[in-house]
Amino acid sequence: MKKKTVSILLTAAMALSLAACGSSNSTDSSSKSSSKAESTSASSASSEAESASSAESTADGEVFDDTTVTVFAAKSLNSVMETLISEYNKTQPNVKLVGSYDSSGTLMTQIEEGASCDVFFSAAAKQMDQLECENLLVEGTRHNIVNNQVCVVTYEGSNTEVTGLEDLNKASSIAMADGSVPVGKYTREALVNAGILEKADDVSAITTQQVSEALGGVEINECANVGVVTSAVAEGSNEVGTVYYSDTYGLEDRLKVLQVVPYDLTGNVIYPAAQVVNKEADETEQAAAKDFVEFLTSDEAAAIFRNYYFDTEVE
């Protein structure tokens, strides 16, 4: 029997100002917003509870009708998502999952501007926090999925003298994402904690020029996302770069890991996922989106993530 669900009513009451929300989520905390706007009427609250109940995942083995679910995912998830989608389709063959990959900041902005999206899978909590503050996430669907680590890498045969963050200034050039990109933010966090960069209230606001000056004027190729950094180093366009450990998957013959940066320098690199409010989606699309997010928390998904060098130990 095909699964039919009651449409989820997604009426967001904008009682919290974005300014107050931004203040409460100024750090990359993975904790969720504790304050939610109340429903405008008792009937609205009743309907919302009914829809939440009817949109439970397909644990009973039922299969969705044909539908398409759009997933906005961080660039560093590009490779693993193909395998995850293939695994999910073994039990849900009628759900077509379409991925759009870019920096988490770029994807967040697209969602804010009204782009059609069902699931957001971010490389950092900051962007997810912002969307949650704006009531653009379906309540109760947010989960921390995996952890990751920042790495300093070079291309095979580079003969670089760089061994890690401490001597990045020895490089002739560095590929590095800007501060609005999670890997760029985590890189800056690590450089601050290593005593190379001066402390800042918001490390993501530290400019590429400031990083270059702190490293003695080394040339830095500012990149739009971690995929661009990975390509720049793998192709030899830049001597070294900072990427995620998972980005080295499949490039072991082209990239050499010089340092896996410890969590005590970067903090946890948490990847959260959640269903996005999509008023254009029908009931099947909404239910399938919720179900896919739940799948990402499963043991089957965790095994796939580990194969792609992600850390599934998430607190």
Regarding whether 136 and 174 lie in a shared domain, the answer is no
pLDDT at 8: 38
* Same domain membership, residue 257 and residue 276: no
Task: Supply the range of the domain harboring residue 235.
Answer: 150-266
Q: What are 153-199's pLDDT values in tens digits?
A: 999 999 999 999 999 999 999 999 999 999 999 999 999 999 999 99
Residue 60 Ramachandran class (φ > 0 left, ψ -120 to 50 alpha, else beta): alpha
Within this chain, do residues 217 and 283 fall inside the same structural domain, yes or no?
no
Question: Of 226, 250, 266, which residue is a domain's last?
Answer: 266
As a whole number of Å, the CA-based R_g of the chain is 21
Which residues have CB under 8 Å from 222's CB, separation 6+? 176, 177, 178, 208
Confidence of residue 62 (pLDDT cuts 50, 70, 90): confident
Based on the fold, state whether residues 170 and 256 are members of the same structural domain: yes
Contact 32, 137 (CB under 8 A): no
Say if 7 falls within a structural domain: no
Number of folded domains in the chain? 2
Q: Are residues 190 and 262 in the same domain?
A: yes
CATH classification at residue 204: 3.40.190.10
Same domain? 126 vs 80: yes
Residue 26 covered by a domain: no
For residue range 7-52, list pLDDT tens digits in order: 433 334 344 444 445 544 444 444 434 443 444 444 444 444 333 3
- In the chain, what is the straight-line distance between the N-terminal and C-terminal CA atoms, in Å? 38
Q: Are residues 127 and 222 in the same domain?
A: no
Tell me whether residue 24 is in a domain. Answer: no
In a domain, 107, yes or no: yes
Six token digits for residue 197: 């960069």
- Nearest one of 293, 313, 292 to 302, comparing CA atoms: 313
- The larger pLDDT score, comparing residue 66 to residue 33, is at 66
Residues 114, 253: one domain?
no
Shared-domain flag, residues 138 and 227: no
* Whether 187 and 256 share a structural domain: yes
For the stretch 78-132, pLDDT in tens is 999 999 999 999 999 999 999 999 999 999 999 999 999 999 999 999 999 999 9
For residues 132 and 89, state if they share a domain: yes
Say yes or no: 159 and 246 in one domain. yes
42 within a domain of the structure (yes/no): no
Distance (Å, rounded) from C-alpha 160 to C-alpha 162?
A: 5
With respect to residue 187, please indicate whether it lies within any of the assigned structural domains: yes
Let me know if residue 313 belongs to a domain: yes
What is the three-class DSSP state of 63?
Answer: strand
Whether residue 18 lies inside any domain: the answer is no
If one compares 251 and 57, the residue with the highest pLDDT of the two is 251
